Protein backbone atom coordinates (compact mmCIF):
# COMPACT_ATOMS: atom_id res chain seq x y z
CA UNK A 1 0.00 0.00 0.00
CA UNK A 2 2.78 2.40 0.92
CA UNK A 3 4.49 1.53 -2.35
CA UNK A 4 1.32 2.08 -4.36
CA UNK A 5 0.78 5.43 -2.67
CA UNK A 6 4.30 6.56 -3.44
CA UNK A 7 3.83 5.52 -7.08
CA UNK A 8 0.59 7.44 -7.24
CA UNK A 9 2.36 10.47 -5.82
CA UNK A 10 5.08 9.99 -8.40
CA UNK A 11 2.53 10.00 -11.20
CA UNK A 12 0.90 13.08 -9.72
CA UNK A 13 4.22 14.89 -9.79
CA UNK A 14 4.77 13.80 -13.38
CA UNK A 15 1.39 15.25 -14.37
CA UNK A 16 2.56 18.65 -13.17
CA UNK A 17 5.66 18.30 -15.36
CA UNK A 18 4.11 17.60 -18.75
CA UNK A 19 7.52 17.13 -20.33
CA UNK A 20 7.96 13.71 -18.71
CA UNK A 21 6.63 10.77 -20.66
CA UNK A 22 5.33 7.82 -18.62
CA UNK A 23 4.97 4.34 -20.10
CA UNK A 24 3.90 1.10 -18.42
CA UNK A 25 5.47 -2.21 -19.33
CA UNK A 26 4.21 -5.60 -18.20
CA UNK A 27 6.81 -8.32 -17.87
CA UNK A 28 5.49 -11.74 -18.70
CA UNK A 29 7.58 -13.96 -20.96
CA UNK A 30 8.80 -10.71 -22.51
CA UNK A 31 8.23 -6.99 -22.30
CA UNK A 32 4.72 -5.87 -23.17
CA UNK A 33 4.93 -3.64 -25.09
CA UNK A 34 8.50 -4.30 -26.18
CA UNK A 35 8.86 -1.10 -28.17
CA UNK A 36 8.47 2.34 -26.62
CA UNK A 37 8.48 5.48 -28.74
CA UNK A 38 9.57 8.73 -27.14
CA UNK A 39 10.59 12.13 -28.45
CA UNK A 40 14.18 13.27 -28.10
CA UNK A 41 14.78 15.63 -25.20
CA UNK A 42 11.88 14.26 -23.13
CA UNK A 43 12.65 12.51 -19.83
CA UNK A 44 11.07 9.10 -19.65
CA UNK A 45 9.63 7.11 -16.75
CA UNK A 46 9.09 3.43 -17.41
CA UNK A 47 6.94 1.60 -14.88
CA UNK A 48 7.63 -2.11 -15.00
CA UNK A 49 5.31 -4.67 -13.48
CA UNK A 50 6.62 -8.23 -13.50
CA UNK A 51 3.73 -10.68 -13.62
CA UNK A 52 5.75 -13.86 -13.30
CA UNK A 53 8.29 -15.47 -10.98
CA UNK A 54 10.61 -16.81 -13.68
CA UNK A 55 14.10 -15.74 -12.56
CA UNK A 56 14.94 -14.80 -16.15
CA UNK A 57 13.11 -11.49 -15.90
CA UNK A 58 14.04 -10.48 -12.35
CA UNK A 59 16.40 -7.77 -13.53
CA UNK A 60 16.07 -5.27 -16.36
CA UNK A 61 19.16 -3.56 -17.78
CA UNK A 62 19.57 -0.39 -19.83
CA UNK A 63 23.17 -0.67 -21.06
CA UNK A 64 23.27 2.69 -22.87
CA UNK A 65 22.09 4.48 -19.73
CA UNK A 66 24.18 2.47 -17.26
CA UNK A 67 20.97 1.64 -15.39
CA UNK A 68 19.37 -1.53 -14.09
CA UNK A 69 16.53 -2.41 -11.75
CA UNK A 70 15.36 -5.46 -9.84
CA UNK A 71 11.73 -6.34 -10.52
CA UNK A 72 10.03 -8.10 -7.60
CA UNK A 73 6.98 -10.03 -8.83
CA UNK A 74 3.74 -8.03 -8.72
CA UNK A 75 5.31 -4.73 -7.70
CA UNK A 76 5.42 -1.70 -9.95
CA UNK A 77 8.99 -0.44 -10.31
CA UNK A 78 9.72 2.94 -11.88
CA UNK A 79 12.86 3.44 -13.94
CA UNK A 80 13.60 7.07 -14.79
CA UNK A 81 15.69 7.75 -17.85
CA UNK A 82 17.14 11.12 -18.81
CA UNK A 83 16.35 12.72 -22.18
CA UNK A 84 18.22 10.89 -24.91
CA UNK A 85 19.52 11.69 -28.37
CA UNK A 86 17.53 10.23 -31.29
CA UNK A 87 18.26 6.57 -31.85
CA UNK A 88 17.40 3.07 -30.67
CA UNK A 89 18.26 1.89 -27.17
CA UNK A 90 17.88 -1.69 -26.07
CA UNK A 91 16.83 -2.95 -22.67
CA UNK A 92 17.19 -6.60 -21.71
CA UNK A 93 17.04 -9.04 -18.84
CA UNK A 94 20.33 -9.90 -17.15
CA UNK A 95 21.00 -12.74 -19.61
CA UNK A 96 19.96 -10.79 -22.69
CA UNK A 97 17.12 -13.20 -23.46
CA UNK A 98 14.22 -10.79 -23.06
CA UNK A 99 14.58 -7.72 -25.23
CA UNK A 100 12.83 -4.43 -25.59
CA UNK A 101 13.78 -1.17 -27.19
CA UNK A 102 13.29 2.52 -26.83
CA UNK A 103 12.96 4.40 -30.07
CA UNK A 104 13.87 8.02 -29.51
CA UNK A 105 12.61 10.18 -32.33
CA UNK A 106 13.66 13.64 -33.32
CA UNK A 107 11.20 16.20 -32.00
CA UNK A 108 8.95 17.66 -34.70
CA UNK A 109 9.68 21.20 -33.52
CA UNK A 110 7.69 23.09 -36.11
CA UNK A 111 4.58 21.20 -35.02
CA UNK A 112 5.09 21.32 -31.27
CA UNK A 113 6.01 25.02 -31.10
CA UNK A 114 3.55 26.40 -33.67
CA UNK A 115 0.53 24.09 -33.57
CA UNK A 116 -2.00 26.77 -34.49
CA UNK A 117 -0.14 28.13 -37.51
CA UNK A 118 0.61 24.64 -38.68
CA UNK A 119 -3.05 23.60 -38.48
CA UNK A 120 -4.12 26.81 -40.15
CA UNK A 121 -1.77 25.98 -43.03
CA UNK A 122 -3.33 22.56 -43.51
CA UNK A 123 -6.97 23.36 -42.90
CA UNK A 124 -7.37 26.79 -44.46
CA UNK A 125 -10.61 26.47 -46.43
CA UNK A 126 -10.03 26.51 -50.16
CA UNK A 127 -12.74 29.13 -50.56
CA UNK A 128 -13.75 31.90 -48.27
CA UNK A 129 -16.75 30.85 -46.11
CA UNK A 130 -18.70 34.01 -46.94
CA UNK A 131 -18.52 33.21 -50.66
CA UNK A 132 -19.73 29.64 -49.96
CA UNK A 133 -22.67 30.96 -47.92
CA UNK A 134 -23.64 33.24 -50.82
CA UNK A 135 -23.51 30.28 -53.24
CA UNK A 136 -25.77 28.18 -51.03
CA UNK A 137 -28.50 30.82 -51.15
CA UNK A 138 -28.71 30.52 -54.96
* Sites of contact with Cu ion (CB under 5 A): 56, 93, 95, 97
Q: Which is nearer to Cu ion, 4 or 95 (CB)?
A: 95
Q: Which is nearer to Cu ion, 32 or 56 (CB)?
A: 56
Q: Which is nearer to Cu ion, 60 or 84 (CB)?
A: 60
Q: How, if at all, do strands 21-27 and 31-32 pair?
A: antiparallel
Find the shortest distance in angstroms from Cβ 126 to Cu ion. Answer: 57
Find the shortest distance in angstroms from Cβ 73 to Cu ion. Answer: 14
Find the shortest distance in angstroms from Cβ 91 to Cu ion. Answer: 12
Find the shortest distance in angstroms from Cβ 49 to Cu ion. Answer: 17
Q: Which is nearer to Cu ion, 97 or 132 (CB)?
A: 97
Contact between 31 and 98 under an 8 Å Cβ cutoff? The reply is: yes
Find the shortest distance in angstroms from Cβ 28 to Cu ion. Answer: 13
Q: Which is nearer to Cu ion, 8 or 99 (CB)?
A: 99
The DSSP bridge partners found for residue 99 are 92
Amino acid sequence: MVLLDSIRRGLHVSQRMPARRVARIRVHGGYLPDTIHVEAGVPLRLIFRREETSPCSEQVIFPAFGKSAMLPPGEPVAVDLPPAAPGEYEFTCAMGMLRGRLIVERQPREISTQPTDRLRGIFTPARDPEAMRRERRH
